[in-house]
Amino acid sequence: MDRRTACLHQANTFREKALADPEHHDQWIDEAIKWLELAMEASRRAVITTEADDGSDAPEPAPTIEATAPHRRVIIRQ
């Protein structure tokens, strides 16, 4: 399970607690919101891995580049 899915699952758990426990509804909703924000953050993060061609004269790139794409999401490997 990836991080985004895990965060969404946790948010759903807190929403269910909010429905089942009206006395602490606001507390559970606040927790659900925190987990939804973490899920959104996780969905914006992408890890892109590149490999240098053995026959190339170009310098070898860094093995991993972590990028944040606020409007466009390109995920090669997560």
Sequence ranges of the domains in the chain: 3-68
**61: Cβ–Cβ under 8 A, 6 or more apart, which residues?**
50, 52
Q: What is the amino acid identity at position 14?
A: F
| Cα Dmax for the chain | 67
Q: pLDDT tens digits for 17-45?
A: 999 999 999 999 999 999 999 999 988 87
Q: pLDDT tens digits for 38-51?
A: 999 988 875 555 66
Contact between 21 and 28 (Cβ < 8 Å): yes
Distance CA 29, CA 44 (A): 23
